[in-house]
A and B are shown apart, each in its own frame.
Chain A
Amino acid sequence: MTKFSPGRIFIYSILVLFCAIYLMPLLVMLLTSFKSLPDIRGGNLLSLPEVWVFDAWFKAWGTACTGVTCEGVKGYFWNSFKMAVPAVFISTLIGALNGYVIAHWRFKGSNLFFALMLFGCFIPFQVILLPMAATLGKFGLANTTTGLVFVHVVYGLVFTTLFFRNFYVSVPGELVKAAKLDGAGFFTIFFKIMLPISKPIIMVCIIWQFTQIWNDFLFGVVYSGSDSQPITVALNNLVNTSTGVKEYNVDMAAAIIAALPTLFVYVVAGKYFVRGLTAGSVKG
């Protein structure tokens, strides 16, 4: 295991090469967003801006056209928060309670339900789009943020339940028995004993749900109205609106704005993010 054997150098160079490949698009986006349009045409993807300008950022945030309106992505950015925050909170809470019941208060049929839920993780959402649209319309929730929150809660709770169930299964049943003998009931055990030890899984769950919901496009494009569109839909409209000159710098600035919250979460809580991914991947 000498540090500078040819083999080690080879391994490191491959790893570094791939770092460059993975980072390149982000770098391109950043560079482009700080260029002026003539600069973009004059230079190339990885050339530095002649002059660093922030115009594209202001335009993307405040005045760029996303389809019919030209008010930038700021409104949609907040729309996404208004949708994601309650949806994450509700689905996490329900998931925690469900997981607690399935792991420690089993009853006849609770395992069958869990199996049905697991299987539900795998269905392609296209197969529920039409009926859900009809249902939302029926209850007056079409094109509203509330409707989107509902959809994200319903299809998110499958995952949150799975997370919490797998976590609570590893909590010894004797703990629950001991608490029962100490006189604690269903909710006392949940709030006084289970929730305080659930911090890691709550983090995993919140981060997973936030990333999923923030990044979602399908439900956003199908169920949102013009004033409840999430940022992903707005970004797509902005990029694919073909009026006049294509402003790549604005596109890139908007894309980075759309990516910032999830990237931020990834940077500050990457540990939980990875744990969520691997936990979500061993479904089944």
Chain B
Amino acid sequence: MFNTLQKWLPKIILSPSIFLVTVCIYGYVAWTGYLSLTHSRFLPNFKWAGLLQYNKLMENDRWVTSCINLLIFGVLFIIISIILGTLLAILLDQNIRQEGAIRTIYLYPMALSFIVTGTAWKWILNPGLGLEKMMHDWGWTSFEFNWLVSNDMSVYTLVIAAVWQSSGFVMAMFLAGLRGIDSSIVKAAQIDGASMPTIYWKIILPCLRPVFFSAVIITSHIAIKSFDLVTALTSGGPGYSSDLPALFMYTHAFTRGQMGLGAASAMMMLAGVLAILVPYLYSELRNREQ
């Protein structure tokens, strides 16, 4: 410990990472923040623009649409994933035979890239040859399903694909939570005469509050950074009816030469994440202190 090299080794080992994290995360955030306050277009331009880009962003129909879409997509995706995940976890927790196999099936989509998921669902939801044709073949001739090409409905196809991919993961989190609950609590409640639904509703689910919160954090994180899924499934279309902020940022910063606007939209996304994360961390820390 008093040997000089030994004393410095831990710091030497950690310092490249400290450097990278400081520069490539916090430094770059500041950099992007600065870019968002300039007139940058194809190339960085350091002419000060104040909040111009943010004003432009707020007046940009496509941005407003993408934010509304994110809200619809995010809320539905989170709620459906959590309800489905909880339900499946509770059902799977009833001494099911072949539980391992079933769990494997529910969770495998999580191993896929969102691009693969998008490609698959794009084909399944194909208005001419996909689900619609299958239903017609099976005798339901009036079945119509054209969400993928509908301005109003295309954003919901994102919800379908994202729920398919991620609900198994939420299930795994809740299942782990259920397994972590002391079984004597359940026994005590049974002895007290509570029925199984009551036990779940009044005792077990409240115990899973922390799991619930981390599931919300993770799924909302997935929603906000959703870029690959929307690119592969709808490309934001038709028009920009299913655009999401992540796609908006990419398009403006890298293909349309609107770097300042792209940077501003990235900062808004960061603000969105912080708006969810900070209250969560705050309550976590406060709980921990108590």
Query: Taking the complex as a whole, does A directly touch B, i.e. does some CB pair lie under 8 Å apart?
Result: yes
Min C-beta distance of B77 to chain A, whole Å: 16
A126 touches B134 (CB 8 A): no
Chain B contacts for A132, CB-based, 8 A: 24, 28
> In the complex, A101→B15 CA distance in Å?
11
A120 to B23 CA separation, bound complex (whole angstroms): 11
Given contacts A22-B106, A251-B123, A277-B172, contact A126 B249 (CB under 8 A): yes
Partner of A126, one of B14, B27, B215, B225: B225
**Given the complex of chains A and B, what is the CA–CA distance between A266 and B114 in angstroms?**
16
A224 within 8 A of B: no
Tell me how far the C-beta of B277 lies from the nearest C-beta in chain A, rounded to whole angstroms.
Answer: 6
Task: Check A22/B105 contact, CB under 8 A, given A28-B120, A124-B224.
Answer: yes
CB 8 Å contact bits of A211-232 with B (1 = contact, 0 = none): 1001111100110000000001
Contact (Cβ within 8 A) A281 B218:
yes
Closest to A151 in B: B24
Does residue A123 face the partner (Cβ distance < 8 Å to B)? yes
- Min CB distance A229 to B, Å, is 12
List 12 A–B pairs whose Cβ atoms lie within 8 Å, in order of A's numbering. Answer: A11-B91, A44-B129, A122-B221, A127-B266, A127-B267, A132-B24, A158-B25, A217-B232, A218-B250, A236-B232, A259-B112, A278-B172
B contact patch SS: helix
Rounded to whole Å, the gap between the CB of B289 and the closest CB of chain A is: 15
B29 touches A128 (CB 8 A): yes
A11 vs B87: C-alpha distance in the bound complex, in angstroms? 11
The answer to whether the Cβ of B173 comes within 8 Å of any Cβ in the partner chain is yes
Complex: chain A residue closest to B103, CB-CB = A274
Shortest beta-carbon distance from B39 to chain A in Å: 14
Find out whether the CB atom of A218 lies under 8 angstroms from the CB atom of B228.
yes
With A123-B25, A270-B104 known as contacts, the answer to whether A186 contacts B9 (CB < 8 A) is yes
- Interface SS of A by simple majority: helix
Instruction: Find chain A residues with CB under 8 A from B284 CB.
Output: 284
Contact with B along A224-256 (1 / 0, CB 8 A): 000000001001100110000000100110111
> Which of A128, A154, A222 has the most C-beta atoms of chain B within 10 angstroms of its own C-beta?
A128
Check B227 for interface membership: any CB of A closer than 8 A. yes
Interfacial chain B residues near A161, Cβ < 8 Å: 17
**At the interface, yes or no: A97 with Cβ under 8 Å from chain B?**
yes
Report whether B137 and A44 are in contact in the complex, using a CB–CB cutoff of 8 Å: yes
C-alpha spacing A25/B109, complex, angstroms: 10
The 9 closest A-B pairs by CB, nearest first: A215-B113, A105-B10, A217-B228, A266-B111, A44-B134, A131-B28, A128-B28, A131-B31, A126-B266
For chain A, give the interface size range: 35 or more
Contact of A101 among B13, B96, B115, B134 (CB under 8 A): B13
* A255 with B116, Cβ < 8 A, contacts A22-B105, A180-B1, A278-B176 known: yes
For residue A13, give the distance in angstroms from its CB to the closest CB of chain B: 10
Chain B: CB-nearest residue to A134: B44
Cβ-defined contact, B14 with A98, below 8 A: yes
Q: Which of A24, A98, A123 contacts B270 (CB 8 A)?
A: A123
Binds B, one of A109-117, A166-174, A191-199: A109-117
Interface residue A144 (Cβ < 8 Å from any Cβ of B): no
A14/B91 in contact, CB under 8 A: yes
Known contacts: A19-B102, A251-B123, A277-B169. The answer to whether A186 contacts B111 by CB under 8 A is no
A148 to chain B, nearest CB (A): 14
Min distance, Cβ A256 to any Cβ of chain B, angstroms:
8
How long is the Cα–Cα vector from A113 to B10 in the complex, in angstroms? Answer: 13
Most buried by A among B21, B102, B136, B169: B21
Does any Cβ of A come within 8 Å of B201's Cβ? no
Q: Is A130 an interface residue (CB 8 A)?
A: yes
Q: A132-B24, A236-B232 are in contact. Are A263 and B249 (CB under 8 A)?
A: no
Kindly report which residue of chain A lies nearest to residue B16, judged by CB atoms: A94
Are A101 and B14 touching (Cβ within 8 A)? yes
Instruction: Please state if A113 and B18 are interface contacts (CB–CB under 8 Å).
Output: yes
| Docked pose: A236 CA to B273 CA in angstroms | 27
Residues of B within 8 Å of A46, CB to CB, are 134
Q: Is the CB of B120 within 8 A of A252?
A: yes
A259 touches B116 (CB 8 A): yes
Q: Which residue of B lies closest to A153 (CB)?
A: B20
Asked if B148 CB lies within 8 Å of chain A CBs, one says no
In chain B, positions 85-133 with a C-beta closer than 8 Å to chain A are: 88, 91-92, 94-96, 102-117, 119-124, 126, 129-131, 133
- Whether the pair B35, A258 counts as a contact (CB closer than 8 A) is no
Check B96–A263 contact: CB distance below 8 A: no
User: CB-CB contacts of A118-150 with B at 8 A, as 1s and 0s?
Assistant: 001011111111111111000000000000000
User: Is residue A70 contacting chain B, with contact meaning CB distance below 8 A?
Assistant: no
